[in-house]
A = this chain, B = another copy of it.
Amino acid sequence: GEKGLEIESNDGNFKAKIGGRIQVDTQVNFNDNHNGQADHANTDLDNGVGFRRLRLYTEGIMWKDYEYRFEYDWARNGGGVNGITDAYLKYLHFKPFTITIGQMNEGKSMESVMSNNYLTFIERSLPNNAFIESGPNSKYQVGIMAETFEKAFNMPWTVRGGITTESVGAPAPGNSSNNTSAGNTNRNGFSGNTSYQLVGRGTLAPLYSKEDGYVLHTGVWGSWRSVNNNYNADGTYRNGGWQYLSQPDTDIDRTAWINTGNLTKGNKDAPGSFRADEVAMFGAELAGSYGPVHMEAEYMQAQIAGQGYSNQDLLQGFYVQGGWFLTGENRPYDEKKGTWNRVIPHSNFLFGDGWGAWEIAARYDTMDMNTKHINGGSINAGTLGVNWYLTPKVRFMTNWVHIFGTQTGSAGKCTTSATGNDTIGCFNGLSPDIWETAVRLDF
């Protein structure tokens, strides 16, 4: 049936399922270079086609209380342990209170807690990518997490919190393991200990009626991380540190237009050196739906602390977006996770018997990585999108992204390389338009 490859025992105590998702995206760029200008060469964004995600998972329940899930993404980070997203054991005995051990979504931001199968836009917002999704700072981390949900006076709420370390697959500096690809060697004596993070999130929906099709959602989340930094005996930097980066709401060409670089740099205690010892993050969420319309806004920040940093080193970003189902669907709310749920078209696409669901949407998002001691650049952008849901699990998306302003940061000054090419800093000051399309299905 619609559940796909799933088997369940008669008493319901055992379940097992296989599923996955396929996402094929395209990108075409306009005004994406300075080539007309005298002092610029030939650097631009790529047009192209590619896979955004290619995932398979297996999940199940054993002896009623023990849930497991293992998911792998073949389009993620080039193979090996790098493609693992979920790999955990969840203890269900005290449902809705559960405890999860293994690698899982750390649980920041309603947009990142939500499955990418339900995204309104092809890419999550700039702050979601910079703070949670992209680069070394993977949201899938090994740890232990407790979570629960309930209703108080008919208002659904959720709480979760836990301790996580690093993602097994993230690149450095977010992952301090050396030699992940060597023969059966997970770590060696020169990687340093694993960093760790305390993380939590709470949500409350003060207004909610599934029947009448409306919800008002509020949420906050925060985290504190102790960063792994390692120096050699002579004080030179060895490994570790922290970093934030994001592509400009793009999909196929994911060049990081904003990028803090490694926030730990220079030799130990040397003048002018920096060491990111701690990172404190905070986010606030506001979202709602009423009949066919829905809106969503989030603010996120990260405060860097450590040698060379001050309380003015606060990275910030936010987005606000809205959508309208022309075909009248209400965007469903997931009370258990405190975020949106899968859109079910009133009718599937079937030539006259139904045209699926159609949605138009708009978003403004901005991310600022320029602080007193960090010059990572900034972007602000607008996106218009149209989504066609042929069935609950098959849809076509198209987005038009306009970058209002790009500042690629001091690390990205526009220079010319030995081969005469522009460097990444030459994207500075561009206001490109980007046309993206996506075919996305899960099963």
Decide: A439 and B101 in contact? CB cutoff 8 A. yes
| A7 contacts the other chain (CB 8 A) | yes
Q: Mark A70-102, 1 if CB is under 8 A from B, else 0.
A: 101011111111111001110001000000011
Q: Which of B5, B48, B77, B235 contacts A5 (CB 8 A)?
A: B5
Report B-chain residues with C-beta under 8 Å of the C-beta of A292: none
Mask: chain A, 43-59; 1 = CB below 8 Å from B; 0 = not: 11111111110101010
A326 on the interface (CB 8 Å rule)?
no
A389 to chain B, nearest CB (A): 12
- Main secondary structure, interface of A, reads loop
Q: Which residues of B contact A47 (CB under 8 A)?
A: 193-194
Q: Which residues of A276-333 have CB atoms within 8 Å of chain B's CB atoms?
A: none
Q: How far is the CA of A192 from the CA of B252 in the complex (A)?
A: 12
Is A351's beta carbon under 8 Å from chain B? yes
A19 vs chain B, min Cβ distance (A): 9
**Contact pick for A46, options B48, B58, B168, B193, CB 8 Å:** B193
Interface flag for A416 (CB, 8 Å): yes
Interface bracket on A: 35 or more
* Residue interface bits A177-215, CB-to-B below 8 A is 1, else 0: 100111111111111111000000000000000000000
Expressed in whole angstroms, the Cα–Cα distance for A47 and B236 within the complex equals 22
Q: Is the CB–CB distance between A2 and B62 below 8 Å?
A: yes
Say whether, besides A24-B101, A186-B50, A236 and B80 are in contact (CB < 8 Å): no
A60 to B77, CA, bound (A): 27
Partner of A183, one of B2, B171, B238, B394: B171
Q: Tell which of B1, B7, B70, B235 touches A9, judged by Cβ atoms closer than 8 Å.
A: B1
Is A441 on the interface with B (CB-CB < 8 A)?
yes
Among A336-344, A378-386, A397-405, A418-426, the stretch that binds chain B is A418-426
Mask: chain A, 249-281; 1 = CB below 8 Å from B; 0 = not: 001111100000000000000000000000000
Check B416–A233 contact: CB distance below 8 A. Answer: yes
Partner of A89, one of B5, B56, B84, B441: B441
Give the complex CA separation of A271 and B60 in angstroms: 61
CB distance from A288 to the nearest CB of B (A): 30
A134-142, A153-161, A216-224 - interface stretch: A134-142
Q: Does A126 contact B (CB under 8 A)?
A: no
Cβ B193 vs Cβ A441 within 8 A? no
Q: Which residue of B lies closest to A170 (CB)?
A: B183
Q: Are A81 and B87 in contact (CB under 8 A)?
A: no
Q: Is residue A435 contacting chain B, with contact meaning CB distance below 8 A?
A: no
Interface assignment of A165: CB less than 8 Å from any CB of chain B: yes
Asked if A113 CB lies within 8 Å of chain B CBs, one says: no
A68 within 8 A of B: yes
- Closest Cβ of chain B to A137, distance in Å, is 10
Asked if B24 contacts A135 (CB within 8 A), the reply is no
A333, chain B: closest CB distance, angstroms: 24
Q: For the complex, what is the distance from the CA of A336 to the CA of B16, rounded to whole Å?
A: 28
Q: State whether A89 touches B439 (Cβ < 8 A).
A: yes
State A177–B255 Cα separation when bound (angstroms): 12
| A419 pairs with B232, CB closer than 8 A | yes
Instruction: Give the Cβ gap from A189 to chain B, nearest Cβ, in Å.
Output: 4
Bound-state CA distance A190–B143 (Å) is: 37
**Residue from B2, B42, B65, B88 in contact with A233 in the complex, judged by beta carbons closer than 8 Å:** B42
B63 adjacent to A74 (CB under 8 Å): no
B70, A20: Cβ atoms closer than 8 Å: yes
If A22-B68, A46-B192, A190-B421 are given as contacts, then 16 extra A-B residue pairs at C-beta distance below 8 Å, sorted by A number, are A5-B5, A5-B18, A48-B191, A51-B168, A54-B87, A62-B441, A75-B186, A78-B80, A89-B439, A93-B350, A93-B351, A135-B183, A135-B184, A186-B252, A189-B255, A234-B420
The 7 closest A-B pairs by CB, nearest first: A233-B420, A78-B181, A79-B80, A41-B233, A232-B419, A234-B420, A79-B79
Q: Pick 11 A–B contacts, CB within 8 A, sort by A.
A: A4-B14, A5-B58, A24-B102, A46-B187, A52-B186, A68-B441, A75-B186, A76-B184, A80-B83, A170-B183, A186-B252
